[in-house]
Amino acid sequence: MSEEIKSHLFAIRTTGGQEKMVMKLLEQKANNNQINVQSVFWVNDLKGYVVIEAVNPSDAFMAVEGVRHIRGQLRGELEFKDIEGYLVKKSTVSTLEVDNVVEITGGPFKGMKATITRIDQDKEEATVVLLDASYQLPVTVDANYLKLSTEG
């Protein structure tokens, strides 16, 4: 059979803080062959929801039937692009360039602005020169603590 089977994604509303529990309960049902779903996952940034992947929408509905901590299902389905950003952590360092003006969002220099002088892709670090300092002091900072400044 060469026909591609398209699965559907559904956001299931849960009691806040119970996402992992709901996932475990659904996983148990799947392992006992009680439900027909491809995957169940939750996204850290999406509080109060788990996502179910099922080929057939009625399978997703059946899966959540009678499961504790489930508060309902969002109408319609999610597009992959809606959750794609949550699935693959994009490296901050890949968005930075030498001479960018950045704001430091963590560590001892938090809140300061700086200019990038060097980027180490492998270590995910950038060497910056602080703009607020009275002399040019190069500092190496974790790239995850940098965000592009709006005041270029």
pLDDT digit string, tens, across residues 1-45: 445 668 899 999 999 899 999 999 998 898 888 888 888 888 777
Does residue 127 belong to any structural domain of this protein?
yes
Q: What is the pLDDT of residues 65-111, one digit of tens each?
A: 999 999 988 888 888 887 777 776 667 788 899 999 999 998 888 99
* HSE value, Cβ hemisphere, 13 Å, CA-based, for 93: 15
For residues 75 and 51, membership in a common domain is answered with: yes
Please count the structural domains in the chain. 2
Q: What residue numbers bound the domain in which 101 lies? A: 92-148
Q: CATH number of the domain that 79 lies in?
A: 3.30.70.940
For residues 77 and 100, membership in a common domain is answered with: no
Nearest CA to 26 out of 15, 12, 7, 16 is that of 12
What's the pTM?
Answer: 0.54
Q: How far apart are CA 147 and CA 113, in angstroms?
A: 10
In a 3-state reduction of DSSP, which class is residue 104? Answer: strand
For residues 28 and 46, membership in a common domain is answered with: yes
Measured over the CA atoms of residue 28, residue 34, residue 40 and residue 42, the dihedral's sign is: negative
